[in-house]
Amino acid sequence: MSGRFDSRGVAVVTGAAQGIGLGLVSRLASQGFAVALIDRDEERLAQAAGQLESSGAKVVSVAADLTKSESVTKAFETIKHAAGPVDFLVNNAGAERNQKFLSMTEAEWDYILDANLRSQFLCCKAVLPDMVERSFGRIVNISSRAWLGGFGQANYSAAKGAVVSLTRSLAIEFAAKGVTVNAIAPGLIDTPLFRTFKPELQEQLKRSIPVRRMGTPDDVGLAVDFFLDPAASYITGQTLYVCGGRSLSSVSV
Ligand SMILES: NC(=O)c1ccc[n+]([C@@H]2O[C@H](COP(=O)([O-])OP(=O)(O)OC[C@H]3O[C@@H](n4cnc5c(N)ncnc54)[C@H](O)[C@@H]3O)[C@@H](O)[C@H]2O)c1
């Protein structure tokens, strides 16, 4: 479990330029992991990597569109060359483009399925050969509470549901190889993505959270820590809600 850096291991976080991903990668860096950030937003990625480096972290950052296989292959080759094989992968990159079903275009469907699901498929393919060879790996796939279903979210909900199924299938396939694969289903987390919603909708959504507060990237981070722990070797194929109890309530807006 040691990469070229002397650290707790090499951890890749996708979609690490902002929001939950940035929170996760900062948390992992502060815990002594060598971290690799991947994001398609070059400018924000450079800012994020710079911030981490200035705090003394061992950082590799690669700009890549994770829906394209060539770009994923190149990104992971760069990371391996710079830091060593990947021990920990957090598949966090994702996007949301809500639309009532009858107005939803094929392009909106494909974009969301690619950003949330295909990206995870490609990243898992990139890291699993080394994990199997080294008989160790931890993969955490970020799904969403919205996989339960959401108004105007047929594309996003379908993609995040498929993330749960992908997680379960990979968990079975790689269980005997020392690799665990788990998912986290966050509820409403205060990030740039949430802030793109109309203010009325933001207020309405906040009122629907049983614990009466928005989640933070660190709330998700706590669950990531748990699944990445090398001691968590008997826990695989699970989906953990981090949603302030919102998965317990009935239909959401
Ligand atoms: N914020 C929430 O309330 C919430 C709730 C449930 C689940 N999630 C999930 O958590 C994850 C992070 O969400 P967030 O709120 O931080 O989102 P965000 O939009 O703030 O950040 C997502 C990051 O992923 C990157 N990204 C998107 N598509 C990419 C691609 N094809 N290639 C490379 N990078 C790509 C973006 O550039 C961005 O930096 C997503 O998977 C999202 O679906 C978020």
Q: Answer whether residue 107 is part of any domain.
A: yes
Q: Answer whether residue 245 is part of any domain.
A: no
Number of domains the chain contains: 1
Cβ atoms within 10 Å of 123's Cβ, excluding its own? 26
Atom 8 in ligand 1: residue holding the nearest Cα:
144
**Helices (H) then strands (E): counts for the chain:** 9, 7
Q: Answer whether residue 87 is part of any domain.
A: yes
Q: Does ligand 1 lie within 6 Å of residue 75's CB atom?
A: no
Q: Does ligand 1 lie within 6 Å of residue 186's CB atom?
A: yes
Q: Does ligand 1 lie within 6 Å of residue 20's CB atom?
A: yes
CB 55 within 8 A of CB 33: no
- Kindly give the interhelix angle for 69-83 and 119-134, rounded to the nearest 10 degrees: 40
Q: Please state the φ and ψ torsions of residue 63, each to the nearest 5 degrees.
A: -85, 125
Q: Answer whether residue 251 is part of any domain.
A: no
Minimum-distance ligand 1 atom for the alpha carbon of 94 = 41
CB 58 within 8 A of CB 34: yes
**Gap between the Cα atoms of 105 and 214, Å rounded:** 31
**Gap between the Cα atoms of 210 and 202, Å rounded:** 15
Torsion over CA: 177, 172, 184, 119 (sign): positive
Q: Answer whether residue 184 is part of any domain.
A: yes
Q: Answer whether residue 250 is part of any domain.
A: no
The CATH number assigned to the domain holding 224 equals 3.40.50.720
Q: Are strands 179-186 and 239-242 parallel, antiparallel or unpaired?
A: parallel
Digitized pLDDT (tens) for each residue of the chain, 253 residues in all? 545 666 799 999 999 999 999 999 999 999 999 999 999 999 999 999 999 999 999 999 999 999 999 999 999 999 999 999 999 999 999 999 999 999 999 999 999 999 999 999 999 999 999 999 999 999 999 999 999 999 999 999 999 999 999 999 999 999 999 999 999 999 999 998 788 888 998 889 899 999 999 999 999 999 999 999 999 999 999 999 999 999 997 655 4
| E strand or H helix that includes residue 153 | none
**Gap between the Cα atoms of 191 and 208, Å rounded:** 17
Q: Which residues are annotated as catalytic? A: 156
Q: Give me 181's structure tokens.
A: 């694969």
For the chain, the straight-line distance linking the first and the last C-alpha, in angstroms and rounded, comes to 44
Q: Answer whether residue 253 is part of any domain.
A: no
Q: Residue 143 is part of which domain span?
A: 10-240
Specify the pLDDT at position 192: 83
Q: Answer whether residue 247 is part of any domain.
A: no
